[in-house]
Chains A and B, each alone.
Chain A
Amino acid sequence: MEDERPPIVLLVAVALCLAACGSPGAPSRHEIIDSRDNYDPRSLDPALSTDVPTGRAVGYVFDGLTRFTPDARVEPNLAERWDVTPDGLRYTFHLRRGVAFQDGRPFSARTVIRSWQRALEPATKSGAASFLFPIAGARDFNGGKAASISGLAAPDDSTLVVTLGEPLAIFTKMMAMPVASVVPDSVPANFGEHPIGTGPWKLVEWKHDDYLLFAKNPSYFGGAPKTDTLRARIIAEPSTAVAEYESGNVDILQIPAAEASDWMEDESRKPMLMSTPALELVYIGINTTRGPLVDPRVRQAINYAIDVNRIIERLIGGRGTRAAGVVPPALGGYDSTRKPYPYDPAKAKQLLAAAGHPNGIDIELWTSTTPIYLRIAETVQAYLNAVGIRAKIVQRESAAARGAARKGQTDMILKDWYADYPDAEDFLYPLLHSANKGVGGNVSFYSNARFDSLVTASRHELDETKRNGLYRQADSLAFADAPMVFLYFYNELYAVQPWIKHFVPPVIFNGQRWLDVTIATPKP
């Protein structure tokens, strides 16, 4: 036999390397480099935007009538101001004058109408067009039943009158969504590759699966960005993004949940960290129409059986705020006095027995292949097993798992929900209103007439205080009915290089457009 020796040299190299990782100095570039995208945006056509990397990039190039600040407030954008009739049905938007697209074409009220028509045209194949359905006649136009959108009128170049099918208090928030962005009049077939908007950044180059390069729009109506260029790199592997950050090649890093505690415990890295409450609810949808899960006592038992605090502490480095309802703490309508289901296995067993299942039940718990969710699912499985709920884990790719849940084929599904716009409505209505069963987002197939009427009333209520009161009531009601396991709201953790100034982490995905962010010049 030959002499076989272990590769000691390599182990030494690794040890040296791990010990020697230091922080790099400030770069001499005038380019912000973002590493948050982990897959290529699907297109820069606003009408096709249904995912975060796409929506973020669309927000750089395009504007809507309104926009979000990093802390998720709505502010005027292409519309300088607006009036609403007391019945909440008619919005008059007073548009900015003198705004031009990046190719010089003028912007006017008619451009807005044509942009939305385009998003709603069947030929555009938009998956997000339904966000424009609150506009009267939009649904008919989308379904080919009308030649124009009856609820849109442009009395003059700088006035847009929008009539809604029914009052919708959050309509101005929807106007900041990517799909409602304003595009020039006639766009070429490859518009998704060569977008032209009125926004602060122009797309210079898009190397698919590699990066998107944007240059500042010097004539941006809100003032040109303070940095020359912005590069959104597409880095599929989180460990690689960390290495790029450690090397000083990228400026912003989104830290994966599983690695959060390593960063927070490292004294040298601590000063670079920034935290923000993401509008993301992680929950287990319980299908309220399947077998024993029809009984609210069984669903409550499931909530009592799981030690969620421990999951937050052990699996995601404490990066979650315990959920006691679906409305996140960062939004109006959150009720800080509502207490979450405590961890109480005895009570869970008692409720199960009262519901007629003294010997427990058998259910399936679906999850996507995301490693962190699989770990949470396994932990939940163990907790449930301890009270006699025998959960079988079914693992599928996220689109496949979601598809099954939408068809009502899953008992329980562990998933998350990201807000499309920062409002409690975007949690209560899609997740739990009976009009959204299945594809609309209500994978619990929850149906409660009282809850529905509260949410519907809140959608109509223009007074913010009253609206928040309705949100709280609806949330309380659903919380008691337990159509889901209320897990946590994730708090996003970012690492930001010390030379980056004025960066505020966004609460909503398109809330940071890099206008004021600068790079401090390197020390001589």
Chain B
Amino acid sequence: MTRFIARRLLLAIPTLFGVLVVAFLLLYVAPGDPVEAMVGERADSATIARLRAELHVDDPLPQRFAHYVSRVAVGDLGRSYITNRPITQDIRERFPKTLQLAGAAMLLATVLGITLGVLSARRPGGLADRFALGIAYLGISFPVYWVGLLLILLFAVTLRWLPPSGYGSLRFLVLPALTLGMRSIAFLARMTRSAMLEALNADFVRTARAKGLGEWVVTLKHALRNALIPVITVLGLDFGAYLTGSILTETIFSWPGIGRYVVNAISRRDLPAIQGTVLFLSTVFVVVNLITDLAYAKADPRVSYD
């Protein structure tokens, strides 16, 4: 197991290097210029020239890349062109908030999604199944933006149960987490349902029932565990996606996370901020994938990495 983890982490280094190369090249060919954003509308050509020289934006690409990689290798992501703050500090401030939101969304998705899926599978076509189907409908077909605004309108503006936006106590977390998790709830419910239906018809379930085990024990202990592999895959992928920036949700709910940070950085061509965040988020994705793979082994003893 340890060897497996070590090997995966080592393999991540060339992956991340590749990500950096691509990010660098993309930013190089994209139109726009960080100095444009620094000087504002009314500028002066001498100021622009001086800033360009100071930021080395006109140096040859390989030289800039080599310089950047050498800094990254010692853990320095540089300072933002626009705010002059260290990128690592910016990420440190924002990522925990994104993590909190993604975690809450995944928690909701896991609890609600799997529960709905299990209930649906126990009596296909029943009331629970139809309800779950309705939820799945909404979650998959409604755009995040719309869901978010509707939730704000209903729970914040009309009912005044929850704050419309912002970051703070647990009450601030509910609506954005629900908005973000909606799609996962829907997906997981459908995924769990079909995996459960298959498992419930399998021979080992009949055997379990024949042994005289209770219906809930059969469902949860025998069927669900076997249905979990595809569910974990979905969970892992969604979690990775949420962690790397739930841009729309963060924007609607004024959630000060990493998604909004990276969008702002892109619109201002703040190269160190974009590159630093891309690198950091790629690392996060690699780690989440690794954890997902390890979870397979935990859920299914037949999967082994030794």
List chain A positions with a Cβ less than 8 A from chain B: 2-5, 7, 10, 13-14, 16-18, 20-21, 24, 39-40, 42-43, 45, 48, 50-51, 122, 125-130, 133, 139, 142-143, 192-193, 207-211, 233-237, 239-240, 243-244, 246-247, 249, 396-400, 402-404, 406, 417-418, 420, 426, 430, 436, 438-441
Taking CB atoms, residues of chain A closer than 8 Å to B230 are none
Q: Which of B29-37, B214-222, B232-240 contacts A (4 or more CB under 8 A)?
A: B29-37
**CB pair B157 A21 closer than 8 Å:** yes
In the complex, B298 has a CB within 8 A of chain A: no
Q: How far is the CB of A23 from chain B (nearest CB, A)?
A: 11
**CB pair B40 A50 closer than 8 Å:** yes
**CB pair B156 A397 closer than 8 Å:** no
In the complex, B125 has a CB within 8 A of chain A: yes
In the complex, B163 has a CB within 8 A of chain A: yes
In the complex, B45 has a CB within 8 A of chain A: yes
- Kindly report which residue of chain B lies nearest to residue A41, judged by CB atoms: B83
Taking CB atoms, residues of chain B closer than 8 Å to A398 are 267
With contacts A240-B253, A240-B254 taken as known, whether A417 is within 8 angstroms of B41 at the C-beta atoms is yes
Q: How far is the CB of B82 from chain A (nearest CB, A)?
A: 5
**CB pair A193 B137 closer than 8 Å:** no
Partner of B32, one of A39, A210, A244, A397: A397
Taking CB atoms, residues of chain A closer than 8 Å to B152 are 239-240, 243
**CB pair A48 B254 closer than 8 Å:** no
Taking CB atoms, residues of chain A closer than 8 Å to B137 are 4, 7
Q: Which of B47-55, B205-213, B279-287 contacts A (4 or more CB under 8 A)?
A: B47-55
Taking CB atoms, residues of chain B closer than 8 Å to A7 are 134, 137-138
Q: How far is the CB of A406 from chain B (nearest CB, A)?
A: 8
With contacts A17-B158, A243-B152, A243-B165 taken as known, whether A43 is within 8 angstroms of B83 at the C-beta atoms is yes
A243 to B148, CA, bound (A): 12
Q: Which of B18-26, B58-66, B107-115, B256-264 contacts A (4 or more CB under 8 A)?
A: B256-264
A3 to B41, CA, bound (A): 58
With contacts A193-B85, A397-B267 taken as known, whether A440 is within 8 angstroms of B164 at the C-beta atoms is no
**CB pair A2 B133 closer than 8 Å:** yes
Q: Give 26 CB contacts A-B under 8 Å.
A: A2-B133, A7-B134, A14-B154, A17-B150, A42-B82, A42-B83, A43-B85, A50-B38, A122-B50, A128-B40, A208-B256, A209-B94, A209-B256, A233-B166, A233-B254, A237-B251, A237-B252, A240-B165, A240-B252, A243-B153, A247-B163, A247-B164, A249-B163, A399-B33, A439-B43, A441-B41
With contacts A133-B44, A208-B90 taken as known, whether A236 is within 8 angstroms of B254 at the C-beta atoms is yes
**CB pair A43 B84 closer than 8 Å:** yes
A440 to B43, CA, bound (A): 5
**CB pair B134 A243 closer than 8 Å:** no
With contacts A127-B38, A399-B267 taken as known, whether A207 is within 8 angstroms of B157 at the C-beta atoms is no
Partner of A17, one of B125, B154, B261, B269: B154
In the complex, B160 has a CB within 8 A of chain A: yes
A39 to B250, CA, bound (A): 13
- Kindly report which residue of chain A lies nearest to residue B252, judged by CB atoms: A237
Interface centre among A16, A43, A244, A440 (most CB of B within 10 A): A244
Count class of interface residues, chain B: 35 or more
Count how many pairs of residues, one from A and one from B, have CB atoms less than 8 Å apart in the complex: 182
Taking CB atoms, residues of chain A closer than 8 Å to B40 are 50-51, 127-128
**CB pair A236 B44 closer than 8 Å:** no
**CB pair B41 A418 closer than 8 Å:** yes
Taking CB atoms, residues of chain A closer than 8 Å to B72 are none
Partner of B261, one of A130, A209, A436, A438: A209
**CB pair B167 A207 closer than 8 Å:** yes
Taking CB atoms, residues of chain A closer than 8 Å to B154 are 13-14, 17
- Nearest first, the 4 A-B pairs at minimum CB distance are A50-B40, A130-B44, A209-B256, A127-B39
A127 to B51, CA, bound (A): 8
**CB pair B47 A129 closer than 8 Å:** yes
A233 to B156, CA, bound (A): 17
Interface string of B149-175 (1 = CB under 8 A from A): 110111011101001111100000000
**CB pair B54 A122 closer than 8 Å:** yes
Known: A4-B137, A240-B253. 4 other contacts (CB 8 A): A40-B264, A143-B46, A237-B252, A440-B42
- Kindly report which residue of chain B lies nearest to residue A441, judged by CB atoms: B42
Taking CB atoms, residues of chain A closer than 8 Å to B130 are 2-3, 5
In the complex, B76 has a CB within 8 A of chain A: no
Taking CB atoms, residues of chain B closer than 8 Å to A193 are 85
In the complex, B300 has a CB within 8 A of chain A: no
A506 to B71, CA, bound (A): 45
**CB pair A439 B165 closer than 8 Å:** no
A247 to B154, CA, bound (A): 11
**CB pair A404 B31 closer than 8 Å:** yes
Q: How far is the CB of B167 from chain A (nearest CB, A)?
A: 5
Taking CB atoms, residues of chain A closer than 8 Å to B183 are none
A193 to B90, CA, bound (A): 12
Taking CB atoms, residues of chain A closer than 8 Å to B42 are 130, 420, 426, 430, 436, 440-441
A247 to B157, CA, bound (A): 5
- Kindly report which residue of chain A lies nearest to residue B50, judged by CB atoms: A122
Taking CB atoms, residues of chain A closer than 8 Å to B133 are 2, 4
Taking CB atoms, residues of chain B closer than 8 Å to A426 are 42
- Kindly report which residue of chain B lies nearest to residue A415, judged by CB atoms: B41
With contacts A399-B33, A399-B269 taken as known, whether A439 is within 8 angstroms of B48 at the C-beta atoms is yes
A135 to B48, CA, bound (A): 20
Taking CB atoms, residues of chain B closer than 8 Å to A10 are 138, 150
A207 to B153, CA, bound (A): 25
In the complex, B93 has a CB within 8 A of chain A: yes
**CB pair B164 A240 closer than 8 Å:** yes
**CB pair A127 B43 closer than 8 Å:** yes
Taking CB atoms, residues of chain B closer than 8 Å to A126 are 47
A211 to B39, CA, bound (A): 24
A475 to B31, CA, bound (A): 34
Interface string of B9-20 (1 = CB under 8 A from A): 000000000000
Q: How far is the CB of B259 from chain A (nearest CB, A)?
A: 10
**CB pair A440 B44 closer than 8 Å:** yes
**CB pair A16 B158 closer than 8 Å:** yes
Taking CB atoms, residues of chain B closer than 8 Å to A208 are 90, 93-94, 256
